[in-house]
Amino acid sequence: MIPAPAFLTNPERFMAFSRWAAPMFGAIAVILGLAGLWLGWSAPPDYQQSWTVRILFIHIPTAWLSEFAYACLASASLLSLVWRQLLADAAAQAAAPLGAGFTLLTLATGSLWGRPEWGTWWVWDARLTSELILFLIYLGYMALRASMDDEIKGARAAAILGLVGALILPIIHYSVYWWNTLHQGASVFRSGGSALAPVFFWPVILMVLAYTSAFGSLWLVRIRGEVWRRRADAAALRAARA
Amino acid sequence: MSRFSTLLARETALAWGRGGGPMVSVGFYAGVATLLPLAIGPEPARLAAIAPGAAWVALALASLLSLDRLFERDYEDGALDHLTLSPVPLELTCAAKCFGQWLATGAPLALAAPVAAIALGAPLSLTPLILACALIGGLAFAFTGGIGAALSLGARRGGLLTAVIVLPLFTPPVIFGGGVLSAFLSGLPWTAGFVLLCAYALAFVALGPLFMAAACRNALS
């Protein structure tokens, strides 16, 4: 009935699995990240962007993760809502601050790149705007969870909101593009859409893999922490009743 | 059907009569429309350039106002429990609530929208379009807003939370409506944005009640 292997649904087996999986993903992230950074530092300056191009090696992975983390959050929300999976709920809860953090990093690195390249920290370009709205959706999700006294009700309400967000994000994405094309202007800043040269392509790919692995590691650690917290709460409740 | 119309009459009367009803929303709307020229400066040319957009954004903000009472009132006095026991599906009850909200505050706000836009310097020829946009956009605001209101049932500081949840959902109708009005004013084709606004409103009239009902069942469980 539950479309997931036991090490992801059974808390005991998940704890045993994540105990070695979390450090393993962390180690993979460090190795890939070091390789990506080394390739990135040895890459020649771009003929238009000069050394600023190096910001993209950390900007592209965070941008990918800001959306990947939401996909994880929405899938975990669906699992927790439909199959009442407690671990899935912990996973959705753990993914939200990570996703919000990566979204904030995307906005920060993007504006650091935009200052020398576009001459401005911020433009109301379609991509920037939809990233900002994604950040607001993460904030709303975390705020809803934080303001519910009843934890189970809060979890289910947050899961419903996670699914509403998954429904609305593509609509927001396309509406913002529609708005952008209607108003013109920002298309000047588009980088031409040309494919990356191999010398930039490989560091980007390595960094994307490294960041994804780091996200996996952090996510597992946060889920573990959430499982421990719930066990502690349950133990405290038992102790109070005894 | 008669059950649904009874519910709709009840919800409209509640939204109209309790806590100021449309007066609060329209008063807030007039207040925001008054503050804008005070902040931006009274030059007619500058105001006219932002008039339709400002009137539209103020409309979205004013539709947030009465949302927090949409489900909370019935949740607190136990009426929501009774409504779940009725033969009418909870989804339909939620839809009736949002339609009532739209009739009692969305429609009066839509009537006030052309007045605010013209006072800010929009041309008189914009009146029919902004009225139509405000009526349809108000439907989208009511049904997306209802999702936020239902989700924040039982939360501390529910009203503020509703606004934080709902504002991202308001972005597509704000974009489409604002785009329609500015395209009309600059003589560009505006029907595409208008159709998208209608599509968004209809999509949430259909889907919103499902999410609202799920949130209400969760709050009552």
Residue type, B203: A
Q: How many helices (H) and strands (E) does chain B have?
A: 10, 0
Residues 6 or more apart from A184 whose CB is under 8 A from it? none
> Is residue A192 predicted with pLDDT exceeding 70?
no
C-beta separation of A109 from A101 below 8 A: no
> Is residue A47 predicted with pLDDT exceeding 80?
no
In which element (H, E) is residue B61 found? Answer: helix B44-64
Q: What is the ipTM of this complex?
A: 0.88
**Token pair for residue B45?**
């040319």
CB contact under 8 A, A147 and B161: yes
Nearest C-alpha in A relative to B219: A153
Q: What pLDDT is recorded for position B2? A: 84
Rounded to 10°, the helix B44-64/B22-40 angle is: 150
B207 at interface of A, judged by CB pairs closer than 8 A: yes
Residues 6 or more apart from A174 whose CB is under 8 A from it? none
Rounded Cα distance, A156 and B80, in Å = 18
> Is residue A202 predicted with pLDDT exceeding 50?
yes
Nearest to A172 among B151, B171, B214 (CB): B171
Rounded Cα distance, A77 and A83, in Å = 10
Nearest C-alpha in A relative to B208: A164
| A185 vs B56 pLDDT, higher one | B56
Opening angle at CA A175, ends B165 and A71, nearest 5:
55
> Is residue A193 predicted with pLDDT exceeding 70?
no
pLDDT band (50, 70, 90) for residue A182: low
Give residue-wise pLDDT tens across range A121-169. Answer: 887 877 788 889 999 999 999 999 989 888 888 999 999 999 999 999 9
Residue type, B23: M
Rounded Cα distance, B47 and B53, in Å = 10
Average pLDDT over all residues of chain A: 85
**Token pair for residue A231?**
């066990």
Q: What pLDDT is recorded for position A2? A: 53
CB contact under 8 A, B161 and A163: no
Give residue-wise pLDDT tens across range B10-54. Answer: 888 888 877 667 888 888 999 988 888 888 888 888 888 888 888
B56 at interface of A, judged by CB pairs closer than 8 A: no
| B173 vs B187 pLDDT, higher one | B173
Residue ranges of the domains in chain B? Answer: 2-220
> Is residue A83 predicted with pLDDT exceeding 60?
yes
Q: How many CB atoms lie within 10 A of CB B143?
A: 29
Q: What pLDDT is recorded for position A187? A: 37
Quick one: what percent of chain B has pLDDT higher than 90?
38
Q: What pLDDT is recorded for position A4? A: 63
| Residues of chain B found within 8 Å of residue A163, distances taken between Cβ atoms | 211
Q: What pLDDT is recorded for position A149? A: 85
Give the mutation candidate from B144, B164, B200 for the A interface (greatest A CB count, under 10 A): B164
> Is residue B62 predicted with pLDDT exceeding 50?
yes
**Token pair for residue A215?**
């996200």
Q: What pLDDT is recorded for position A190? A: 45
| Residues of chain A found within 8 Å of residue B221, distances taken between Cβ atoms | 153
B160-180 mean pLDDT: 91
CB contact under 8 A, A182 and B183: yes
A19-25 mean pLDDT: 91
CB contact under 8 A, B171 and A176: yes
Can you give the pTM of this predicted structure? 0.88
Nearest to B179 among A133, A144, A179 (CB): A179
Q: Bridge partners of B155?
A: A148
| Residues of chain A found within 8 Å of residue B178, distances taken between Cβ atoms | 179
